[in-house]
Amino acid sequence: MEKTRIRVRKYAKLKAPIMIVGLPGIGSVGKMVAEHLIKELNAERIATLYSPHFPYQVIMLRHGGIRLMSNRFYVIRRSGRKEDIVILTGDTQAITPEGQYEVNHEIVRFFKEKLGGKFIYTLGGYSAPGSNPSNPKVYANATSAAVVAGLKDSGLVFGESRGTILGSAGMILGFAKMEHVDGICLMGESSFLDVDPYAAKAVLVFLSGRLGLNIDTKNLDKMIQKTAEALKELERQAPAEFPMPGKGDDKPPSYIR
Amino acid sequence: MEKTRIRVRKYAKLKAPIMIVGLPGIGSVGKMVAEHLIKELNAERIATLYSPHFPYQVIMLRHGGIRLMSNRFYVIRRSGRKEDIVILTGDTQAITPEGQYEVNHEIVRFFKEKLGGKFIYTLGGYSAPGSNPSNPKVYANATSAAVVAGLKDSGLVFGESRGTILGSAGMILGFAKMEHVDGICLMGESSFLDVDPYAAKAVLVFLSGRLGLNIDTKNLDKMIQKTAEALKELERQAPAEFPMPGKGDDKPPSYIR
Amino acid sequence: MEKTRIRVRKYAKLKAPIMIVGLPGIGSVGKMVAEHLIKELNAERIATLYSPHFPYQVIMLRHGGIRLMSNRFYVIRRSGRKEDIVILTGDTQAITPEGQYEVNHEIVRFFKEKLGGKFIYTLGGYSAPGSNPSNPKVYANATSAAVVAGLKDSGLVFGESRGTILGSAGMILGFAKMEHVDGICLMGESSFLDVDPYAAKAVLVFLSGRLGLNIDTKNLDKMIQKTAEALKELERQAPAEFPMPGKGDDKPPSYIR
Amino acid sequence: MEKTRIRVRKYAKLKAPIMIVGLPGIGSVGKMVAEHLIKELNAERIATLYSPHFPYQVIMLRHGGIRLMSNRFYVIRRSGRKEDIVILTGDTQAITPEGQYEVNHEIVRFFKEKLGGKFIYTLGGYSAPGSNPSNPKVYANATSAAVVAGLKDSGLVFGESRGTILGSAGMILGFAKMEHVDGICLMGESSFLDVDPYAAKAVLVFLSGRLGLNIDTKNLDKMIQKTAEALKELERQAPAEFPMPGKGDDKPPSYIR
């Protein structure tokens, strides 16, 4: 395998879909939210992305199977709403700079050209100096001034995050802008925990409201806490998070989890 | 040379071949078993794989010759059995992540498309906490539930190995699954020795029984011990094992030798 | 994105343009001069270069936007002079050796073939033993003996710089020579400051005189000092400079900033 | 520039040429011999090789010029002999494993297909335990048993060198074998000096005798000593030697200089 490839199980005819991207990163914020949504909303897998820029190893499954590392596209069909939802999650991000450019551009092209996608939410964490983990803000950066203006009263914090967004959460947004698809990166204020359910909850609450998702808010704290424990357990068993490739990491003035 | 290439000496017409893959790795388990089988069964070389993702050096031969680093395909023709055997061994694995994807996929495609291959055994080691090196188990992970079910009473240990399988032993299985060829990874329980003849013996005994190979079990201990000594001698002279490329190695929860 | 690409906003019909290249490097000499010229002369952006060999991150903008890392071409149209000016600056250089070859050759080809370019100035710094930072010389190396001869009485110091010129300042000149475009690298004598406005001023003064640019010399010291302070502030916020890729950096006998 | 390219100044019609390869490496043995031959025999340059796998820097020349790093082919036409001589030397070797495969194969293909080449000598150093630097042997490894047999009484030491030959001295020989061109690697016994004129002399004396080159043996010691001093001076000014890329270097049981 020399190029990133996406295997489609079946081509879903989707209504003007938006995509939620939650891939591994420090804090596991995006992945935790994506996996929570997939489970809660019974999302259906429609495609799998493989790449030679992923780690060169296979994952051992519980009952004696194996699988290649992958990113996976899920779908939630919605009645009574004008947009369906695509969720992207997976085992890893690309582990080289060139791989990040290839894989993330491929994801945007697939979403736009094959699924007819209209808007992208990428999820991550943001570490602000003196942040308060128990009541985290959601920082945001978007592809256009129009998106920022349209979310003026949403409670999102625009224009206070500084520096760069590393990896898929940033690059997918950059390629969305290049391909004229609007999008936004939602960053839960995070306090350097390996797994940060507080930041994940803040992002999930915003997304649920924004998309009219019927998720029981009362149970959220318990669920996220359980997810957090499960992820910690998983971490001992499987490589839930991969280190990002080297350059530019040395002294980041702030960073995405 | 910019791509992996396989030079075929002669196209053997093979009966529904299975392939045994024993390439270098920590412990040399796979390579030891593969070389033992080649010698004992007088296997014949049919093809050689070269790759720009191998180390950039040539091996000095005993009588003043040289050769490029390679992987090599051998054949054992079997009368009275319905399947022939292909053995793959060599000097090295690919030394970059992208190289691992290219070379291992190429191996699976060659085996399936050019040799008409039906099943793949990859060989390695597995380090379990508190393992007992003198009477090692053989852990296993397979491409499908059907393979696991078919080997229920074989003595193999399914579903107890955790984490990931690094390098060719894992990636070849992953690509086999992608290309709809069944296969299994046999991992001798290993205790961190550079060269582990105990783990190799456990794997060899299983394979011999499974494939009906006529290998003198009484002599096995002595042979493996001798192989082990020879490999240690070889190690001082030639690069029998190459370090695996970097990413993802940092804190593996368990690993393949 | 798998290849470097240049997006042209509009094809300017230019008069025999010369190009000034000021990209990030140690000391920020080139970038400081390029940004100063762009602001002072109201240069207009005509094209943007993206590359998979740039860092895999997006820059967060002040008002909540984002953009991919890029190099940018600006134009200054000049009445009463026979040559227009193109200025190239940007967020980063390529971060791998192969990337440096691809991006810098692409820049030279674009300038020659699409813009009809005639001459290239690359800007950097040079650290000489026992240098005097407060009154820095401008060292220079050119693509041909004719260029050197033509600048004999210009005050530039030829033939005293030793070693190699790393990165774009050197490679763009190398590819210019390969493509038969003349050019010169101007290196302000530098004293190892992270941001060196003295070296930048020396280069800017030479360029202004050479190109007949109407830049107020009296205000220059203040401006550069302010630029220096602004860059130091920016440094805390954004990755104005990227480390150069690894090989060959170990013991450079002298180097380009 | 994305691929290695060879620029031919003029296509020389050569008589069944042999090629001598002396590129940078530890000890500078090969480069020293190649440069000595080029100067002594007034060799004429016929082609230049550039590669994106070379270091990303240009060399500053004495009179204010610059040039890209390169490998260079020279020719010595011989009357009264049946073979002409091609000499390959240069500033560097490829700095990545994949680059080594691309560049060295390209060199062999160019020599065989464009120049009609018949035989290749690659030059290097070999460090044997307890070696005697003042009277060094010349170790050798060749592409075929026939070459070894034909040099039985030549004074070369076959079959005593162990391990691998790193970089161009080995890889060019490996690709020569693959392309059915015979060749040999001559390794001056070396004692870990940065610049080893003793090893260089041993190789040069053998080559001169073998090829019937008219080189004053009495002046050789002085010349090599001078070359050695000059190279040491050059080392302070220019990157005469580049470190080899990483993998496989860790614990070489022996190595090529």
Answer yes or no: is A87 within a domain.
Answer: yes
The alpha carbon of residue B166 and the mean position of all alpha carbons in its chain are separated, in whole angstroms, by 13
Tell whether B244 is covered by a domain: no
Q: Does D152 touch chain B (CB under 8 A)?
A: no
User: Chain D contact for B201, CB < 8 A?
Assistant: no
- pLDDT per residue as tens digits for the range A2-34: 999 999 997 778 999 999 999 998 678 899 899
**B247 or D127, which is more confident?**
D127
Per-residue pLDDT, averaged over B9-22, amounts to 90
Average pLDDT, chain B: 86
- Is residue D251 one of the residues assigned to a domain? no
Partner-chain contact D65 C247, CB within 8 Å: no
The pLDDT assigned to C241 comes to 41
Q: What is the pLDDT of residue D28?
A: 84
* Beta strands, E only, C17-68: 18-21, 44-50, 57-60, 66-68
In this complex, do B98 and A96 lie within 8 Å of one another by their Cβ atoms?
Answer: yes
- Does position D252 have pLDDT exceeding 60, yes or no? no
User: Phi and psi dihedrals of C25, rounded to 5?
Assistant: -170, 170
Say yes or no: B97 contacts chain D, CB-CB below 8 A.
Answer: no
Q: The CATH number of the domain where B88 resides is what?
A: 3.40.50.10900
Flag the least confident range among A81-95, A167-181, A229-243, C40-54: A229-243
* Average pLDDT, integer, range D164-171: 96
Distances (CA, A) of D156 to D31, D142, D147, D186, D210: 20, 11, 12, 8, 11
pLDDT band (50, 70, 90) for residue A183 = very high
Range of the domain at A165: 5-237
Out of B158-172, D86-100, D215-229, least confident range: D215-229
Residues 1-30 of D with CB under 8 A from C: 1-2
Residue of higher predicted confidence among C193 and D221: D221
Chain D residue nearest residue C247, CA to CA: D55
Dmax (CA) of chain B: 51
**pLDDT higher than 70, residue C130:** no
D67 touches chain B (CB under 8 A): no
pLDDT at C223: 58
Is there a contact between C166 and D56 if contact means CB atoms under 8 Å apart?
yes
What average pLDDT does this structure show over D230-241? 60
Give the mutation candidate from A54, A58, A67, A92 for the B interface (greatest B CB count, under 10 A).
Answer: A58
What percent of chain C has pLDDT above 90?
A: 65
Q: Does D180 touch chain C (CB under 8 A)?
A: no
Q: From the list A60, A96, A99, which residue is nearest B163 (CB)?
A: A60
Residue of chain B nearest D126, judged by CA positions: B60
**pLDDT tens digits, C73-114:** 999 999 889 999 999 999 999 999 999 999 999 999 999 999
Q: What is the pLDDT of residues B199-211, one digit of tens each?
A: 888 999 999 999 9
Give residue-wise pLDDT tens across range A30-46: 998 999 899 889 999 99
The predicted pLDDT at position A193 comes to: 66
- Range of weakest confidence among B176-185, C165-174, C186-195, D146-155: C186-195
SS3 label, residue C115: coil
What are the two backbone dihedrals, phi and then psi, of residue D48, each rounded to the nearest 5 degrees? -130, 135
| β-sheet bridge partners, residue A68 | A58
In a domain, A164, yes or no: yes
In the predicted structure, residue A233 carries a pLDDT above the cut 90: no
pTM (predicted TM-score): 0.88
pLDDT tens per residue across span B85-102: 999 999 999 999 999 999
Cβ-in-10-Å burial (0-12, 13-18, 19+) of A161 comes to buried
* Residue D246 falls inside a structural domain: no
pLDDT at B195: 72
Per-residue confidence (pLDDT) for residue A180, from 0 to 100: 98
pLDDT tens digits, B116-145 = 999 999 999 998 766 666 678 999 999 999
User: A50: closest CA among A13, A108, A99?
Assistant: A99
The model's pLDDT over C166-187, given as tens digits with 9 standing for 90+, comes to 999 999 999 999 999 999 999 9
What Cα–Cα distance (Å) separates residue B146 from each residue in A68, B3, B149, B207, D144? 18, 35, 5, 19, 49
In a domain, A257, yes or no: no
pLDDT score recorded for residue D216? 63
ipTM summary value: 0.86
Number of domains into which chain C is organized: 1
pLDDT of residue C174: 98
Question: B256 in a domain, yes or no?
Answer: no
Statement: residue A75 has pLDDT above 50: yes
pLDDT in tens, B138-176: 999 999 999 999 998 999 999 999 999 999 999 999 999
D122 touches chain B (CB under 8 A): no
CA distance C231 to C218: 21
D120 CB neighbour count, 10 Å cutoff? 27
- Highest mean pLDDT among B225-239, C123-137, D135-149 belongs to D135-149
Q: In the predicted model, is pLDDT for residue C3 greater than 70?
A: yes
Q: How many alpha carbons lie under 13 Å from residue B173 in its C-beta half-sphere?
A: 34
**B27: pLDDT confidence band, cut at 50, 70 and 90?**
confident
Mean pLDDT value of segment D119-145: 87
DSSP characters over chain B: --S-EEEESS----SS-EEEE----TBTHHHHHHHHHHHHTT-EEEEEEE-TTS-SEEEEPTTSBEEE--EEEEEE--TTSS--EEEEEES---SSHHHHHHHHHHHHHIIIIIT---EEEEEEEE--TT--TTS--EEEEESSHHHHHHTTTSS-EES---SEEESHHHHHHHHHHHTT-EEEEEEEE--S-SB-HHHHHHHHHHHHHHHT----STTHHHHHHHHHHHHHHHHHHS----PPPSTT-SS-SS-B-
